[in-house]
Amino acid sequence: MQSSTIRELFLDYFSSKDHLVMPSFSLIPQSDPTLLLIGAGMAPLKPFFTGEKKPPHPRVATCQKCVRTPDVERVGHTGRHATFFEMLGNFSFGDYFKEEAIAWAWDLVLNGYRLPEDRLWVSIYYEDEEAFKIWNEKIGVPADRIKRMGKEDNFWEIGLGPCGPCSEIYYDMGEEAGCDRPDCDVGCDCDRYLEIWNLVFTQFSREASGELVELKQKNIDTGAGLERLAMALQGVYSIYDIDMVKPVYDHFYNLAETDRRDQEVPLRVITEHSRGITFMIGDGVIPSNEGRGYVLRRLLRRAVRFGKLLGMEGNIITDAVPLIADIMGPAYPELKEREEYIRQITRLEEQRFQETLSQGMDILEEYIENIRAKGETVLPGDLAFKLYDTYGFPLDLTAEILEEKDLGIDREGFDENLKAQQERARAAARVSAGEEDASKYKPAENMTTIFTGYETLEQEGKLILALVDGKEQEELKKDQKVEVLIDYTPFYAEAGGQIGDTGYIESTSGLIKVENTFFSPWGQIIHQGVVEEGRLSSGEKVIARVDSGRRQGICRSHTSTHLLHRALRNALGQHINQAGSLVAPDRIRFDFNHFSAVTPEEIQAIEEEVNKMILANVPVQVEMKSLEEAEQLGATAIFTEKYEEDAVRMVSAGDYTLELCGGTHVSSSGEIGLFKIVSEEGIGSGLRRIEAIAGMNAYKQTVERDRLIEKISSSLNTSESRLEQKFEEHMSDHKALQKAYHEMKQRLAASEVKTLLSEVKDVEGVNVLSAKVTAENQETLRMVMDEVKNHISSVVVVLGSVSDGKVILVGSATSDLVNKGIRADQLLKEVARRVGGGGGGKPELAQAGGKDTAALPAALASVEELVRGQLKTVGQA
Ligand code: ATP
Ligand code: MG
């Protein structure tokens, strides 16, 4: 039976039992910030189990994409564990319970999938008599086929809260799949007894006292591995042989070097990981050094490294993406849609890793040699950390390579280094954010402040807390730097990229200038500023006024950001997601994921689209919805933000954009006026940043440009319309002049050389030239000397010049003369001495300098005599 049929049969079966079939949720958890990746069918449904959210139907069935990183070490070593797999599941939220769950699972396995009964086994929690009775009496499974297992295997529990016993269905793959141990049985760690389906009966709640209490609302949560069912139904011993995976395995098998094709584990690992990588990127995970991005990076790096072990070259994973997208596309169309994007991301990451790998490997090899030389067996933590921190070499990779060489790693030492570094980084971040210890705001912890600034910019309120340096004050005095809380405030506290408001807080007796507004660690709105006039006392009535011009600028920027987000998606693809932003009154910064630079043409198109939406003057509306409703309406949420479940703010601009957003906006897009993109740049792997301006600031920029153009036009003595042409004329004139100038200079130099050549003297059969020339530096002097030497094959040259009130000298002797005993270095030393300086070099070439410019002519004149002297010395020797 084909995998696709197994999937369909499951969902159809539970649909016929009144289950709502929901499509697979994203691998990225949408409503559980504590979770990195979805690892089970029930994970995205958790709010329905806990009662936090009302399920769309009391019975649900799904086929859910899953990533289970804890299983990563088992991949390849067993035939049945993958990090990426699909889990089929049926769920009951306080509806049916144990009896139906067991009966339906058995019915589907026997009559739907037609697995042979004599190969099936079941397990129960050893104390769950209810389950035993259902299996044994109602279903008719013989008692010796029902294994009782302990807490570890068959009781599902995470900390406190809902928990309960499980019951599993096993399929016997046959003796040949087993480990041959005499005690091999259901539950053995080998591949013989394959756990295909786990039924979890959530019936208790674990209390803090340790007690188990029966739940009023009992739930069913089941999970059946699609790949494992396929193993049983296709009669193969591993997931690498099932229809969905085999072609990928074969692809890698063929890529491996012939003599390495029997390396089963690496082949399996790379096959398995490449599937997971493709799905994760398809769902929007981007490689990074933390969180789920790190999980992805780790899988990819592991796969590439195993690929290398098999002798593979090039972009190993990238090239497998189209094949995986083809196989899995019919069930997961997003893979086909984003195929090109997935390939771009993998390619980038593979190439990066290749570089890291070769660099890190060299360094690690060196470390290993050092350890061995010292007779040690463990890599010190600081070195492992250095590899990780400076060279981006993953710790687990270091550990793996060391392990292959029977060496260990000092993990504690590594952790210490890591912690110290994180502490440094945190301290640095605190300093740069101007933020200190949270305890500073401790007195605010139990207070309430209410934001009224969506509707009004001026608000009456009461000053409920006044702080100076974190200490509560009864009274605030002039010039004090203060932080205050008011019960009702129109000031927006920095959040979601939008910066905090500024303005004034006024009482009958004093005035505070508010310079920043932000949230305390407990969510109160804090105004930070200076007392400009008078005094204010705690408990006093105040009027708070937001700087409305600045706020208006912020609103323009914020709505522009939404328009930009949508325009980016339209121009570059649906994979674009906001990765960070800054919304200020005078500028916008927008970070997003994209694999390549945005071209000038694309920027132009994006900017134009945003401006069209501004001209269309569409209404900007805010509505409160439940998170679920908003999601159904297709509102864009930012992954990194947390949202309330029951009331989210949905901001739309016409039907052009719809985002969950807590920020402040203009009321119609026309208020923005004008939008200009200022720059686009890369800020990390797969991340880009656009900076833009809007409103008055964009207008000011055009005015500034006009002024510049006018200035240039007038200095070029032309009109704006002829500016471009005039500029080109100027440029070509400039080039012609430059060329003429160079020629002239060369001609001058040539004629100077000609004069110099006429000054060459014959000193006892040796050509000698010593002369004063005009040159600004040693370099030019050398050039003139070289030019002379180009014309005479055998010569001693000493040239001097005065530059900046100092003497500079160069000298040289051709090698035939050096053989005769001429030494340019000694010659120059002597000449330099006469001008009050010194120098050095080699017999063939030397340079020197001095201070006494007046003595230069005489010094140069002495060269003849000096040469004679050198010749004589040799003659005597
Ligand atoms: P195992 O003991 O075999 O690791 P498990 O007890 O961790 O399985 P559950 O958490 O109960 O499994 O998950 C439900 C079902 O999902 C399992 O019965 C199995 O069919 C499937 N499954 C679990 N882990 C994996 C995996 N790593 N690869 C493929 N399928 C899996
Ligand atoms: Mg497991």
**Spatial distance between the Cα atoms of 323 and 254, rounded to a whole number of angstroms:** 14
Q: Residue 225 C-alpha to ligand 1 middle, in angstroms?
A: 6
Q: Is the CB of 82 under 6 A from ligand 1?
A: yes
The mean pLDDT value of the chain amounts to 90
**152 C-alpha vs ligand 2 centroid, how far in Å?**
11
Contact 645, 31 (CB under 8 A): yes
The protein residue whose alpha carbon is closest to atom 2 in ligand 1 is 195
User: According to the model, what pLDDT value does residue 299 have?
Assistant: 92
The pick from 85, 108, 190, 238 for probing ligand 1's pocket by mutation, whose C-beta has the most ligand atoms within 8 angstroms, reads 85
For residue 68 and ligand 1, the question of a CB distance below 6 A is answered with: yes
Torsions phi, psi of 363, nearest 5? Answer: -65, -45
Name the residue at shortest CA distance from atom 1 of ligand 1: 195
The pLDDT tens digits for 263-285 are: 899 999 999 999 999 999 999 88
Confidence of residue 429 (pLDDT cuts 50, 70, 90): very low
Confidence of residue 427 (pLDDT cuts 50, 70, 90): low
Answer yes or no: is pLDDT of 2 > 90: yes
Three-state DSSP class for residue 191: coil
Six-digit token pair at 491?
Answer: 């000031």
Angle at 829 between CA 824 and CA 832, to 5 degrees: 120
pLDDT of residue 600: 93
- Nearest ligand, CA of residue 171? 1
Separation of alpha carbons 97 and 105, rounded Å = 12
Contact status, residue 93 vs residue 49, Cβ threshold 8 Å:
yes
CB atoms within 10 A of CB 313: 10
Residue 352 has pLDDT above 50, yes or no: yes
Sole residue written with tokens 């564990």? 81
Phi-psi region of 314 (alpha: psi -120 to 50; beta: other; left: phi over 0): left
Mean pLDDT across 392-403: 81
3-state helix, strand, coil in the chain (%, to 5): 45, 25, 30
Beta carbon of 246 within 6 Å of any ligand 1 atom: no
Tokens 């945003």 label which residue?
610
Averaged pLDDT, 655-682: 94
**Residue 293, φ and ψ in degrees, nearest 5:** -60, -35
Q: To the nearest whole percent, how much of the chain has pLDDT over 70?
A: 96
The one-letter code for the residue type at 573 is: G
Alpha carbons 181 and 483: distance in angstroms, whole number: 72
Cα 618 off chain centre by: 35
Contact 79 CB / ligand 1 (< 6 Å): no
Q: Where are the alpha helices (DSSP H) in 487-599?
A: 548-572
Least confident span in 28-42, 213-227, 676-690:
28-42
d(CA 532, CA 759): 83
Q: What pLDDT, on a 0 to 100 scale, did the predictor assign at position 685?
A: 65
Q: Model confidence at 876, in pLDDT bands (50, 70, 90)?
A: low
Residue bearing the CA closest to ligand 1, atom 30: 225
Residue of 122, 228, 271 to test ligand 1 pocket, by largest number of atoms within 8 Å of CB: 228
Element (H, E) at 462: strand 458-468
Give, using CA atoms, the residue closest to atom 8 of ligand 1: 195
Residues with Cβ within 8 Å of residue 147, at least 6 apart in sequence: 121, 122, 123, 124, 185, 186, 187
- Give the CA radius of gyration of the chain: 39
Decide whether any atom of ligand 1 lies within 6 Å of the 71 Cβ: yes
What the block records as the tokens of 82 is 């993958």
- Asked if residue 691 has pLDDT above 60, the reply is yes
Contact call for residues 490 and 506 (beta carbons, < 8 A): no
d(CA 509, CA 504): 13
Q: Is the pLDDT of residue 632 over 80?
A: no
∠ Cα 169 171 176 (to 5°): 155
Query: In the predicted model, is pLDDT for residue 431 greater than 70?
Result: no
Candidate of 37, 195, 200 to mutate for ligand 1, largest count of ligand atoms within 8 Å of Cβ: 195
Virtual CA dihedral for 328, 27, 316, 333, nearest 10 degrees?
Answer: 30
Report whether residue 346 contacts ligand 1, using a CB cutoff of 6 Å: no
For residue 340, how far is its CA from the centre of ligand 2 (angstroms)?
Answer: 33
Handedness of CA 305, 307, 310, 311 (dihedral sign): negative
CA–CA separation, 193 vs 410, rounded Å? 38
Identify the band that residue 679 occupies on the pLDDT scale cut at 50, 70 and 90.
very high
- Mean predicted confidence (pLDDT) in 710-728: 92
- Copy the structure tokens of residue 420: 């110290």
Q: Is 617 helix (H, G, I), strand (E, B) or coil?
A: coil
Determine contact, residues 477/531, Cβ cutoff 8 Å.
Answer: yes
CA-based end-to-end distance of the chain: 103
Which of 42, 198, 202, 273 has most ligand 1 atoms within 8 Å of its beta carbon, as the pocket-test mutant? Answer: 198
Bin 496: left if φ > 0, else alpha if -120 < ψ < 50, else beta: left
SS3 track for 102-169: HHHHHHHHHHHCCCCHHHEEEEEECCCHHHHHHHHHHHCCCHHHEEEECHHHHEEECCCEEEEEEEEE
Residue type, 166: C
Percent over 90 (pLDDT), the chain: 64
272 C-beta closer than 6 A to ligand 1: no
Distance 238 CA to ligand 1 centre (A): 14
Taking the C-alpha atoms of residue 156 and residue 200, their distance in angstroms, rounded to an integer, is 7
What is the reported pLDDT for 33?
63
Residue 275 CB–ligand 1 contact under 6 Å: no
Q: How confident is the model at residue 836 (pLDDT cuts 50, 70, 90)?
A: very high
Report, as an integer, the average pLDDT of 648-658: 91
Interval 803-831 mean pLDDT: 94
Transcribe 208-229 into DSSP letters: TTS-EEEEEEEEEEEEEEHHHH
* Ligand 1, atom 16: closest residue by C-alpha: 225
Point out the ligand 1 atom lying closest to the alpha carbon of residue 82. Answer: 28
50 C-alpha to ligand 2 centroid (Å): 23
Q: How far apart are CA 636 and CA 656, in angstroms?
A: 12
Nearest to 227 by CA among 210, 213, 241: 241
Half-sphere exposure of 788 (CA within 13 A, CB side): 31
pLDDT digits (tens, 9 = 90+) for 724-759: 999 999 999 999 998 888 787 777 777 788 888 899
Distances (CA, A) of 591 to 499, 604, 731: 16, 18, 38
β 687-694/675-684 pair status: antiparallel
DSSP H or E segment with residue 831: helix 824-834
User: Whole-model pTM?
Assistant: 0.56
Please tell me the distance from the alpha carbon of residue 393 to that of residue 386, in angstroms, as a whole number: 9
Q: 864, exposed or middle or buried, with CB in 10 Å at 0-12, 13-18, 19+?
A: middle
Using 50, 70 and 90 to split pLDDT, how confident is the model at 507?
Answer: very high
Per-residue confidence (pLDDT) for residue 141, from 0 to 100? 95
Identify the nearest ligand to the CA of 105 by its number: 1
Q: Sheet containing 845-850: give its strands across.
A: 761-763, 766-772, 796-803, 806-813, 845-850, 838-841
Which of the listed residues 72, 86, 87, 167 should we mutate to test ligand 1's pocket, taking the one with most ligand atoms within 8 A of CB? 87
Say if CB 870 and CB 852 are below 8 A apart. no
Q: Nearest Cα to 556, choosing from 598, 586, 519, 596?
A: 586
Top-confidence range, 330-344, 419-433, 503-517: 503-517
Instruction: Indicate which residue's Cα is closest to atom 12 of ligand 1.
Output: 198
Task: Give the integer Cα–Cα distance in Å for 638 and 590.
Answer: 13
Name the token pair of 641.
Answer: 């933000």
One DSSP character per residue, 472-500 reads E-SEE-TT-EEEEEESEE-PPPSBTTBPP
346 close to 277: Cβ distance less than 8 angstroms: yes
**What is the distance, to the nearest Å, from the Cα of residue 271 to the centroid of all Cα atoms in its chain?**
25
CB count in 10 Å sphere of residue 443:
17
Those residues whose C-beta lies under 8 Å from the C-beta of residue 11, and which sit 6 or more positions away, are 21, 61, 62, 63, 88
